[in-house]
Amino acid sequence: MKRIKIKELLSSKDFGASVKAEGWVRTKRGNKSINFIALNDGSTINNIQVVVDVANFDENILKDITTGSCVSVIGKLTESQGQGQSVEIQAEKIKLYGTADAETYPLQKKGHTLEFLREIAHLRPRTNTFGAVLRIRHAMAFAIHKYFNDRGFFYLHTPIITGSDCEGAGAMFRVSTLDPKNPPLNEDGAIDYSLDFFGKETSLTVSGQLEGELGAMALGEVYTFGPTFRAENSNTPRHLAEFWMIEPEVAFNDIHDNMDLAEDFLQSLVKYALENCKDDLEFLQKMYDAELIERLKFVVENKFVRLPYTEAIDILMKSEQKFEFPVSWGVDLQSEHERFLVEKHFKKPVILTDYPKDIKAFYMKQNEDGKTVRAMDVLFPRIGEIIGGSQREENYEKLIARIREMHIPEKDIWWYLETRKYGTAPHSGFGLGFERLILFVTGMLNIRDVIPFPRTPKSADF
RNA sequence: UCCUCCUUAGCUCAGUUGGUUAGAGCACAUGACUGUUAAUCAUGGGGUCCCAGGUUCAAGUCCUGGAGGGGGAGCCA
């Protein structure tokens, strides 16, 4: 007999039919003659109620059906006699796949703190919260591929192992097969990476952008969606050492096209969540964040503010707000400044553009004022920077001048420079932090709770 | 990495100016109950007070160092 997913059973009207459901027991309650089992198989946040007439079953099997155990149930699908659910299964056969010793199984029917659940990341997917988060995470990943596919973008697989250390986004993890206890040394005592696996020093990527640009210069519109690694000692609720990033790169787009894309992209994704993850969002709203759905709708329905850096500095300097870090033209904005703009001044998402060139990366297109570059950061309420991007410098002379100014090793990116030498074109792109998007959509507050197995400093279990 | 707070039962926490045998709720076990809804009621078992030193007649409580975790900051997505 074929199993039917609980999501399907709950919306079925096929009363009287014999059905099979399989899943994990959330709770069992009842008395000497009748038991009720709340069964969940992950297909939905909702459980199906299995009604057990105790007289028809071996007492020892029923005793072992505890929270966390796994069972297969065959029975009649019926309209529920009780309140609280419309459909239930009158059990006829129960097979116990796996017990879960009630004395030691760490998940209880009562709520747990998110901190405790992080310590049992191997079991936390079985909770309502993580079930909801992981289903939403999947839906967002799918929506991202769908968004780009619908618009003619190509999914480009950029390398995870990279030989250039000038991707410009922070400290990197080394990739090596050399014996760490006894590495080959060259004449001046340094490690001789010419004898390493790739014949040079290599690391895990911090960004697929540079390769993304190579793809855009051939396919026109591409995006990457892959893991990204940063060896920064960041201990915050917004940073991971291993996270997923989406990086579209589009030939012929200028900074304004880039902003249009970023805004439409984010709004489409949030809209997809509202339309396809209703049950899970309602659960998260009830348990964690009373304004969640309202906030998601607000982002979909309102245009983002677009504001040059220079005007943002003006607003901050004229505001009555006291800041811990003083504001002046040329400084990078602190979290408190970004939060003031997004959460107090405009009360909506803000795209900041045209930052001073000295606080931004070498590849960003230089403006004619000689002072700023065509950068854009999308700032969201609660989570800050969700997207960072720019129009790219396509002029070979300007780009090479900037690279030399910033002492970036040219020999490692000769191939990147050749895109400007042969058939260069204006182009733009950005990076979206996938987990930051999931933070926003789920209303969770710590990024470690929106990825199944988080990697952070001092933490790589599971 | 810096600032700050926290670490007591399986979980969430209380524990007074340092003082007898460290408590509660939930969970768990046993019993009661013929439709429960995080079922309810009764009874019961359960402790390396994060670790290592120190002060003291006496330390869960005070001091020093360390580890782990939360929040804020920086780095960024």
The domain that holds A33 is classified in CATH as 2.40.50.140
A150, A87: one domain: no
Measure, in angstroms, how far nucleotide B64 C1' is from residue A454 CA. Answer: 34
Q: Name the nucleotide with the smallest C1'–CA separation from A104.
A: B10
Q: Which of A223, A275, A225, A220 is nearest to A251 (CA)?
A: A220
**Nucleic strand B contacts from chain A, 264-323, CB < 7 Å:** none
Q: Say how far apart CA A159 and CA A198 lie, in whole Å.
A: 14
Q: Say how far apart CA A176 and CA A196 lie, in whole Å.
A: 6
A257, A345: one domain: yes
Question: DSSP assignment, residue A240?
Answer: -
Measure, in angstroms, how far nucleotide B17 C1' is from residue A84 CA. Answer: 54
Domain boundary among A80, A98, A116: A98
The per-residue b/e assignment along A266-276, b for 16 or more CB within 10 angstroms, e otherwise, is bbbbbbbbbee
A34: tokens are 């009748």
Measure, in angstroms, how far nucleotide B75 C1' is from residue A55 CA. Answer: 64
A237, A93: one domain: no
Residue A414: which CATH number?
A: 3.30.930.10
A154 strand B contact, CB < 7 Å: no
Residue A148 lies inside a defined structural domain of this protein? yes
Q: Which residues contact A225 (CB under 8 A, 6 or more apart)?
A: A141, A144, A145, A155, A244, A245, A246, A247, A434
Residue A137 lies inside a defined structural domain of this protein? yes
A242, A344: one domain: yes
A264, A317: one domain: yes
Per-residue pLDDT of chain A (462 residues; tens, 9 = 90+): 999 999 999 999 999 999 999 999 999 999 889 999 999 999 999 999 999 999 999 888 899 999 999 999 999 999 998 888 889 999 999 999 999 998 889 998 878 999 999 999 999 999 999 999 999 999 999 999 999 999 999 999 999 999 876 656 678 999 999 998 899 999 999 999 999 999 999 999 999 999 999 999 999 999 999 999 999 999 999 999 999 999 999 999 999 999 999 999 999 999 999 999 999 999 999 999 999 999 999 999 999 999 999 999 999 999 888 888 889 999 999 999 999 999 999 999 999 999 999 999 999 999 999 999 999 999 999 889 999 999 999 999 999 999 999 888 888 889 999 999 999 999 999 999 999 999 999 999 999 999 999 999 988 888
A61: tokens are 């099997």
Q: Which domain holds residue A137?
A: 124-171+206-449
A303, A393: one domain: yes
pLDDT at A436: 96
Q: Name the nucleotide with the smallest C1'–CA separation from A31.
A: B33
A157, A275: one domain: yes
Q: Name the nucleotide with the smallest C1'–CA separation from A333.
A: B74
Q: Name the nucleotide with the smallest C1'–CA separation from A47.
A: B37
Measure, in angstroms, how far nucleotide B48 C1' is from residue A123 CA. Answer: 26
Measure, in angstroms, how far nucleotide B29 C1' is from residue A220 CA. Answer: 67
Q: Is A324 exposed, middle or buried (0-12, 13-18, 19+ CB in 10 A)?
A: exposed
Domains identified in chain A, total number? 2
Residue A326 lies inside a defined structural domain of this protein? yes
A274, A394: one domain: yes
**Nucleic strand B contacts from chain A, 22-81, CB < 7 Å:** 27, 29-34, 36, 38, 49, 51, 63, 66-67, 80-81
Residue A353 lies inside a defined structural domain of this protein? yes
A253, A318: one domain: yes
Strand B bases with any atom < 7 A from protein Cβ? 1-2, 10-13, 26-30, 32-39, 67-77
Residue A180 lies inside a defined structural domain of this protein? no
